[in-house]
Amino acid sequence: MTERVPVLRIGDILLVSIQVDLEDQTVLDLQEDLAEQIVARAARGVVIDITAVEIVDSFVGRMLATIASISRLLDAETVVVGMRPAVAITLVELGLSLGGVRTALDLEKGLALLRRSATGAELP
Amino acid sequence: MELLSTDREKITSEWIDGVTSSLQGRISKAEVDRELRELYEALVQGLRAGGEETRGDGFSEVRALLTELSRNRARQGFTPSETAISVLALKQALEPVLRNDSAEETTAYLRLGRALDDLALYTVEVYTRTREEIISSQAAQLMELSTPVVKLWEGVIAVPLVGTLDSARTQVVMEKLLQALVDTGSEQAIIDITGVPAVDTQVAQHLLKTVVAARLMGAECTVSGIRPQIAQTIVALGIEFGDIVTKATLADALQHALRKSGVDLVTHQDARR
């Protein structure tokens, strides 16, 4: 049994803070959990905090894009926050630009971004 | 090599004269005098202890002195020949001593000559190594100097790039910029390439990568300072900047960044004279 990443709820936003090393199974479990939770709790936004993630591979990169696509289908917007410079460089070198994923520097800015888009304000 | 010790005074002064004239007064005679006398002592001792085995233990002091001498010469900007002459001039200084044509002395002179050639080669070696050290340390300094990340406004940082961009430098720029984004919590970054003399496909590729990486971290990146000729080159090369915001000047980019971060610029009519 691998560790599961907890999915927390703040209002109508789901917060996923990844604190463990991402194994392929963990990632698949997370994808499943998140899809269920979005539907169960009628979430409008998903924040994935990867501040603690130091190592990524192409699988994790694709996972982020997949989660974003799934969430969008379920009418929730995904924001990836707290990406480290080294991780960003790695993803670029891997050729993953995470097209559909929105990003923010930290959790606070990510939440602000979701709140702005929920109120329908003009996005920066 | 008794000659070396008996005629010491004559040979050294001859030697010092030879070296001083070759250096054309760029080093004071007193300094040359001191260096060479020390070297001479060490050389005589080395010859006594180790024969002509210049890479052996007997010559360790000679080598240490030569290392210092070559390093100093390299730092002061002398040429390799001017450094090596310091040793080779001794051969010339020895010639007048060999007037009595004995076969024994001639062979001894030749053997000493070989040893001196070896030592001269050694100085050139050290000289080159010192030069290389200087060059690499300068390159490192240049790298640090030329990639500052400056804060222009609350939430806006900029990197003015000056000089040719290569992979190594872009890597440094990229890392510094991204780290600065995290440290300052800025959401807007400006890469100013006014000082970049040429943009080729590789440089453009690097710029694009930096912009995409910044975007991944949740910041927006603007490229500014594209000069007319460079714009033409970029188009001629068929490089696509895609949806990356580009501005002609840093001022435009700053205005754009401020507007994006919600700061309004207002011009007061009455404030103008």
Strands A102-104 and A45-49: unpaired
* Cβ-defined contact of A83 to B185 (cutoff 8 Å): no
Q: Does residue B14 sit in the same domain as residue B138?
A: yes
Kindly state the tokens that stand for B41.
């002592």
Domain boundaries, chain A: 7-117
Q: Does residue B17 sit in the same domain as residue B138?
A: yes
Domain of B132, CATH number, reads 1.10.490.130
CA distances from B135 to B129, B139, B168, B238 (A): 10, 6, 16, 36
Residues of B in contact with A85 (CB under 8 A): 174-175, 178-179, 181-182, 213, 217
**CB proximity list for B183: less than 8 A, separation 6 or greater:** none
Task: Select from B142, B158, B189 the last residue of a domain.
Answer: B142
Domain of B228, CATH number, reads 3.30.750.24
Strands B245-246 and B150-153: unpaired
**Which contiguous run of DSSP H or E holds residue A66?**
helix A58-73
Which of A103, A107, A113 is the best residue to mutate to test the B interface, defined by the most B CB atoms within 10 Å of its own CB?
A103
The H-assigned helical ranges of B23-102 are 29-50, 60-76, 80-94
Strands B245-246 and A13-17: unpaired
Residue-wise pLDDT for A33-84, tens only, equals 888 989 898 888 899 999 888 888 888 888 888 888 888 888 888 999 999 8
B268 lies in some domain:
no
With 0-12 / 13-18 / 19 or more C-beta atoms within 10 angstroms meaning exposed / middle / buried, residue B159 is buried
Rounded Cα–Cα distance for residues B77 and B138 (Å): 15
B218 lies in some domain:
yes
* Cβ-defined contact of B217 to A83 (cutoff 8 Å): yes
Residue-range definition of the domain harbouring residue B170: 150-263
Q: Do B206 and B167 meet the contact criterion of CB atoms below 8 Å apart?
A: yes
Measure CB to CB from residue A85 to each of B175, B186, B260 and give the nearest one.
Answer: B175
Residue-wise pLDDT for B200-243, tens only, equals 888 888 888 889 899 888 899 999 998 888 888 888 888 888 88
Q: Which of these, A44, A95, A102, lies nearest to B218 by C-alpha position?
A: A102
**CB proximity list for B44: less than 8 A, separation 6 or greater:** B1, B4, B5, B8
To the nearest 10°, report the CA torsion of B241, B242, B243, B244: -20
CA distance A101 to chain B (A): 8
Nearest C-alpha in B relative to A82? B217
B176 lies in some domain:
yes
Task: Select from B119, B142, B165 the last residue of a domain.
Answer: B142
Residues of B in contact with A88 (CB under 8 A): 178, 213-214, 216-217
A93 contacts chain B (CB < 8 A)? yes
* Cβ-defined contact of B179 to A85 (cutoff 8 Å): yes
With 0-12 / 13-18 / 19 or more C-beta atoms within 10 angstroms meaning exposed / middle / buried, residue A108 is exposed
Q: Which of these, B58, B57, B54, B82, lies nearest to B69 by C-alpha position?
A: B82
**Prediction ipTM score:** 0.76
Q: Which of these, B84, B69, B68, B89, lies nearest to B17 by C-alpha position?
A: B89
> Is A7-117 a domain of CATH 3.30.750.24?
yes
Nearest C-alpha in B relative to A123? B260
CA distance B168 to chain A (A): 14
Kindly state the tokens that stand for B162.
């000056």
Measure CB to CB from residue B217 to each of A79, A97, A103 and give the nearest one.
Answer: A103
Percent share of chain B, pLDDT over 70: 91
Residue-wise pLDDT for B108-121, tens only, equals 778 888 888 888 88
Q: Does residue B108 sit in the same domain as residue B186?
A: no
Q: Per this entry, what is the length of chain B?
A: 273
Residue-wise pLDDT for B135-182, tens only, equals 999 888 877 776 788 898 888 999 988 887 777 788 888 888 999 998
B121 lies in some domain:
yes
Q: Does residue B138 sit in the same domain as residue B181?
A: no
Q: Does residue B116 sit in the same domain as residue B157?
A: no
Residues of A in contact with B260 (CB under 8 A): 124
